[in-house]
Amino acid sequence: MSAPLPGRIVCFGEMLLRLSPPAGRLLAQASTLDLCTGGAEANVAVSLARLGHATAMVTTLPDSAPGQIAVDALRTHGVDVGGVRREPGRMGLYFLTPGAVLRPSEIVYDRAGSSFACADPAGYDWNALLAGAAWLHVSGISPAVGAAPARAVAEAMRSARALGVRVSFDGNYRASLWAARGEDGAGVLRALMARADLAFANGRDFALLLGRPELAQPEREDEAVAAAFAAFPHLGHIAFTRRRELSVQQHELRACLRTRDASGGAAEAGPYHLHEIVDRIGTGDAFAAGILDGLLRGEGPAAVAGFGLAAAVAKHSIAGDFNLASREQIAMVAAGALSVRR
């Protein structure tokens, strides 16, 4: 096995167990449920580990069999679990009903009162957890889960900036989670975005954060990106995808990478025309991992955007939350190589 690539990435967030009825069945019809492990930040950690990077997951899991399933899943794919806390409590769950034809997929969260949501933010020693790290990756999901995770994310980002660790922030806006808290989350997410070096967010996200709903219009995307760079001075890169859905299993996907430095310019990749999609959950996290991989490797914007998009496309063919595609498999997707490998 080759040595990990330079640059350790620390990911912080909640891990979940996903429960799904068989394809074509509604949750009310299911007599069995498929189980897999996931969570936005863990998905990124696993993807980057599969690409040869040293990654570590920081989270709190219940000291129970479901918690052990999550720990074992991380270990299986080479993610460092030294920063995983085990405490009494319950595991966060979500139920996914896969869509079909013109019926969209549906997700129901069951994560209130989880070990992660209730964990004391002071229990994370960020100076130790971020020692030797090149990047910290977090998302907007954690602060939506509760006040304690929101404080933990803010402290992680503050510590990273103080230590010279670059910060990757995926907006990952979850309206249903914020609604359960009785707020829209704009103020919280705006404060977190101000500490990020890399943002995975699009015009709709920035329209919410900046209180400028007119920027959510697709034709004002460039204006939204410019407004974000002006509002958040630490941001060096903004990356996002554009998805056109023709049916549940037929999508068109593109990627965009924007840089603050005018000489770096803008890069776009795609489109890919996706048919017979196996699983679209986790594709945004696969994209984030692909972008981080390219930046860590010092690639130019076009190569970074192209690899990030190919990673997302590859994930559409893989069941479960994790993108288990290798670098070679992602490269084959990018090259359009469809012949059987022998």
User: Which residues are tagged catalytic?
Assistant: 285
d(CA 263, CA 259): 9
* Spacing of C-alpha 180 from chain mean position: 21
d(CA 288, CA 51): 13
Helix/strand/coil percent split, the chain, to 5 = 40, 30, 30
Please enumerate, as own/partner, the contacts of 318-321 that have beta carbons within 8 Å and a separation of 24 or more. 318/278, 318/279, 319/36, 319/278, 319/279, 320/18, 320/36, 320/37, 320/38, 320/279, 320/282, 321/18, 321/36, 321/37, 321/38, 321/39, 321/42, 321/43, 321/281, 321/282, 321/285
Q: In what order do the strands lie in the sheet with 16-20?
A: 34-38, 16-20, 92-97, 106-110
Q: Find, among 306, 315, 206, the residue nearest to 256 by Cα.
A: 306
d(CA 217, CA 84): 40
Beta bridge partners of 51: none
d(CA 314, CA 283): 8
